[in-house]
Amino acid sequence: MKTFTDLVREVQKPGLCHRCGGCVMFCTAINYGALKLDEEGKPRYAEKAKCIECGLCNAICPEIADLDEETKERLGWAPPIGRVIGTCIARATDEKIRKKATDGGVVTALLLHLLKRGRIDGAIVTKQSGPFQREPFLAVSEEDIISAAGFFFDTSHGMTSFSDHYLIYSQIKGFDPLIKKGLQRVAFVGTPCQVKAVRRMQTLNIIPSDTIKFCLGLFCSGNFIFGKEQQAKVAEIGGFQFKDVKKINIKEELIVHLNSGEVKTIMLDELEFMKRFACYFCPDYSAEYADVSFGGIGAEEGWTTVITRTPVGRAIFADAKPKEIEVNCQEDFPKMAAQVLKKVHKWSARKKDMAAKSRKLLNTKYPGIKKDT
């Protein structure tokens, strides 16, 4: 039976840890207390003597392939980008939400709908804690959900005031108040690796994953380290100053809206210098394990690309129309949806190819340490 010590050797040492916190959250939830997160969001032993070597922390890790087939079968996953029931372009009907949110504000609108309908008691999200920082947040009211809307470029886990850590940790950290408040119906919003960690916990049927009723996934080309040096370089590349920035978004490129109304764009390839190491090994662009996936790719400004993946995902999205969410129903909608899905396939293939090449190089440096996933 592999333990947390094996995770350190096989995942942390090569730099593959996504810092999703799933291993620590499970250990904390059942009061073992063997593991903790350090100040940078990295899992470590709190008291090694308390570890009962159950191996579940190892099985939860998104970088361990042991539960891949069971998880895929349970969700009806299909190649090459997971199960796809439907694809569309949509936006929130409420203009106030659209102004605050990224793209079309569909995630915010869907969370509000679920809360109003009594389908959830809260949602695990992140909210702004500084100009370029996010912090873990369990939203339990309409005001909470709206306050968390919007895109932020950093990947802060919210434990410190610095934005050079990981967004991944902050999402799973949201389980802590969930457990303490005893909520039983919660929506989870996260990146592909975050969603995958939750799905593995659900495959094992271990707490606190049973409280997660809906997984809403975000398209992700990679998370970024965004300290002062990185900020300065991005501003130099884009020809702007961050004090003049009104809004930032990512579609096929980084889009920077300035207070003056001017818009600056930066190709994502120019941001490779600030991508965190573990992201080079992640093959999931479109949140393939989610109930519903969302992103800006292929959609016009102010609209969101939406992929429904599971029957429950299709049901909650359909139920939110047309009151909370409107779909772009142009005459050539079927053709447009097909083109958007084709673009998602292209970006997904690109990320999978990068992950395969990166893993091949890693396996050369650490022979036999990790299976391809």
Count of domains forming the chain: 3
119 and 9, same structural domain? no
Residue 180, classified by CB atoms within 10 Å of its CB into exposed (0-12), middle (13-18) or buried (19+), is exposed
Helices 192-204, 22-29: crossing angle, 10 deg rounding? 40
Answer whether residue 162 is part of any domain: yes
353 and 287, same structural domain? yes
Confidence at residue 155, expressed as pLDDT on a 0 to 100 scale? 40
Answer whether residue 370 is part of any domain: no
CATH number of domain containing 15 = 3.30.70.20
Confidence at residue 108, expressed as pLDDT on a 0 to 100 scale? 96
Kindly compute the dihedral angle of the four CA atoms of residues 87, 223, 130, 103, in this order, to the nearest 10 degrees: -20
110 and 193, same structural domain? yes
Confidence at residue 75, expressed as pLDDT on a 0 to 100 scale? 96
Rounded-to-integer distance, Cα 322 and Cα 245, Å: 33
Query: Are the C-beta atoms of 289 and 63 separated by less than 8 Å?
Result: no
291 and 261, same structural domain? no
121 and 207, same structural domain? yes
334 and 281, same structural domain? yes
Query: Are the C-beta atoms of 41 and 19 separated by less than 8 Å?
Result: yes
216 and 230, same structural domain? no
Confidence at residue 167, expressed as pLDDT on a 0 to 100 scale? 37
Instruction: For the chain, list residues with pLDDT below 50.
Output: 153-170, 368, 370-373
47 and 99, same structural domain? no
86 and 158, same structural domain? yes
Answer whether residue 310 is part of any domain: yes
264 and 343, same structural domain? no
CATH number of domain containing 253 = 3.10.450
Confidence at residue 373, expressed as pLDDT on a 0 to 100 scale? 42
Domain boundary among 46, 68, 90: 68
pTM of the model: 0.86
Answer whether residue 373 is part of any domain: no
Answer whether residue 96 is part of any domain: yes
51 and 86, same structural domain? no
Answer whether residue 74 is part of any domain: no
91 and 183, same structural domain? yes
Domain extent, residue 313, equals 79-221+275-365
Confidence at residue 84, expressed as pLDDT on a 0 to 100 scale? 97
Answer whether residue 372 is part of any domain: no
Confidence at residue 371, expressed as pLDDT on a 0 to 100 scale? 46
Answer whether residue 371 is part of any domain: no
Nearest residue to 271 via CA among 262, 280, 261, 263: 280
Domain boundary among 209, 234, 269: 269
What would the pLDDT profile of 186-206 be if each residue is shown by its tens digit?
999 988 988 998 999 899 998
